[in-house]
Homo-oligomer: A and B are copies of this chain.
Amino acid sequence: MPRPAAPIDFYFDFSSPYGYLAAEKIDELAARYGRSVLWHPILLGVTFKATGLVPLTVIPLKGAYSVHDIERSARYLGLPYTHPSGFPLPTQHAARAFLWLNDRKPALARAFGLAVYRAYFVDDVNISDLGTVLNIAAGLGVDRDTLSGVLAGSEIKTRLAAEVDLAMARGVFGSPFIFVDGEAFWGVDRLPQVERWLAEGGF
């Protein structure tokens, strides 16, 4: 029996519009080539300190274009998008909740991740709020008090920090960031290259 192909690594920040667009597409794309996807939440605020980069939307000229490009890219990909009234937002609560769920029930974590992204980028919900994050999880059947206790503890904070450090050690500097068999791809606009890499084993 052939050994199953290695999973794809998908790095994302919950405050990243292009990360949201990629999150809606990556599992289906990978599945077409017999691959699964490991989802890795990161904090761009931490990577920005290492690279000196800043959120796209605050850069003169580029900022105005970026919002327009995000909205157009969503239409191009057939996805709903409403630019949030608060942007960007701190996303550590959502990222930590994702990690904790993902250790236990990856499919549930996936549903939670997509629900958080859609709340933020479709329904303009403030996902930086701890109560909101807990409500989204509870809506999917997660015990609210248990998750609340987890997010109040230090263990999950240390864990997320270590995950972000590991991502940067692999070269991750943005969102979405994808690895296919060690090959790095940055941006939802690289999904066609990801697809060709999966189809041809490189090019």
For the complex, give the distance between the alpha carbons of A73 and B60 in Å. 27
- Confirm or deny: A107 has a beta carbon within 8 angstroms of a beta carbon on chain B: no
A residues within 8 Å of B by Cβ?
47, 50-53, 59-62, 64-65, 68-69, 72-73, 75-76, 168, 171-174, 184, 186-187, 189-190, 192-193, 196, 203
B189 and A61 contacting across the interface, CB-CB below 8 Å: no
> Which listed residue (B51, B61, B76, B172) contacts A59, Cβ 8 A?
B51
A76 and B203 contacting across the interface, CB-CB below 8 Å: yes
A46 CB to nearest B CB, Å: 12
Known: A75-B203, A190-B189. A60 touches B50 (CB 8 A): yes
B72 and A168 contacting across the interface, CB-CB below 8 Å: no
- Tell me the dominant secondary structure on chain A's binding face: helix
Q: Which of A62, A73, A190 has the most chain B CB atoms inside 10 A of its CB?
A: A62
A203 CB to nearest B CB, Å: 6
Note all chain B residues with C-beta closer than 8 A to A172: 61
> Which listed residue (B52, B61, B173) contacts A50, Cβ 8 A?
B61
Known: A68-B184, A184-B68. A193 touches B62 (CB 8 A): no
Note all chain B residues with C-beta closer than 8 A to A51: 59-62
8 A-B residue pairs with CB within 8 Å: A50-B61, A51-B61, A52-B59, A64-B171, A65-B171, A65-B173, A65-B186, A76-B203
